């Protein structure tokens, strides 16, 4: 189990598009250096997260996972969309109030990565990953990350456990 590291990477990847929005604002304000650095950091986070998912699938211990209920967990995308677009509502890059933006982003990332509120990563969704809230016969609810489209509770899956309550389908 990767625990906090997996949560941190999933959260960082989920908010990486905010960096793309900042990069656009910086670019339109003539700050090409800041724009390129921000895009590179955002893309780097995405690649590290994809590497982490591959590493977990190939190296973590597999286990049988029985599902009793399935519910889509990727419906909260409007919150992320608003977060992604907020930097675009500024006149210029230099007018961004970094004393407000930076702590807000850090607090958001810390709250999501240290709590159990993580449900969806829009960038991974664009790459074909799906997020489901699944319950086991024992009544424990997990977030399942898979490339399969689940329409009903199946007999079972082979998963690896990323965190205490997030599992990754090994048979992608």
What are the DSSP E strand ranges found in the chain? 62-65, 69-72, 130-135, 141-146, 157-161, 166-169
d(CA 162, CA 16) in angstroms, rounded, equals 20
* Number of structural domains the chain divides into: 1
Residue 63 has pLDDT above 90, yes or no: yes
d(CA 33, CA 119) in angstroms, rounded, equals 34
pLDDT 10s digits, 138-170: 989 998 999 988 877 776 899 999 888 889 999
Confidence (pLDDT) at 74? 64
Residue 4 has pLDDT above 90, yes or no: no
Higher pLDDT, 103 or 77: 103
Domain extent at residue 79: 4-169
Closest CA to 148 of 165, 164, 132: 132
- pTM exceeding 0.95: no
């Amino acid at each position: 189990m990767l625990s906090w590291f997996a949560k941190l990477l999933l959260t960082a990847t989920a908010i990486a598009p905010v960096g793309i929005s900042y990069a656009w604002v910086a670019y339109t304000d003539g700050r090409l250096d800041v724009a390129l650095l921000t895009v590179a950091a955002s893309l780097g986070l995405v690649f590290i997260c994809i590497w982490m998912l591959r590493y977990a699938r190939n190296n973590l211990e597999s286990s049988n996972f029985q599902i009793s209920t399935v519910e889509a967990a990727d419906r909260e995308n409007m919150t992320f969309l608003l977060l992604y677009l907020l930097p675009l509502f500024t006149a210029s890059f230099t007018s961004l109030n970094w004393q407000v933006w930076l702590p807000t982003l850090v607090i958001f990332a810390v709250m999501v990565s240290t709590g159990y509120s993580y449900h969806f990563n829009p960038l991974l969704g664009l790459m074909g990953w799906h997020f489901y809230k699944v319950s086991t016969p024992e009544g424990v609810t997990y977030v399942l990350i898979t490339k399969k489209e689940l329409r009903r509770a199946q007999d079972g899956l082979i998963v690896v456990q990323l965190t205490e309550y997030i599992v990754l389908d090994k048979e992608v």
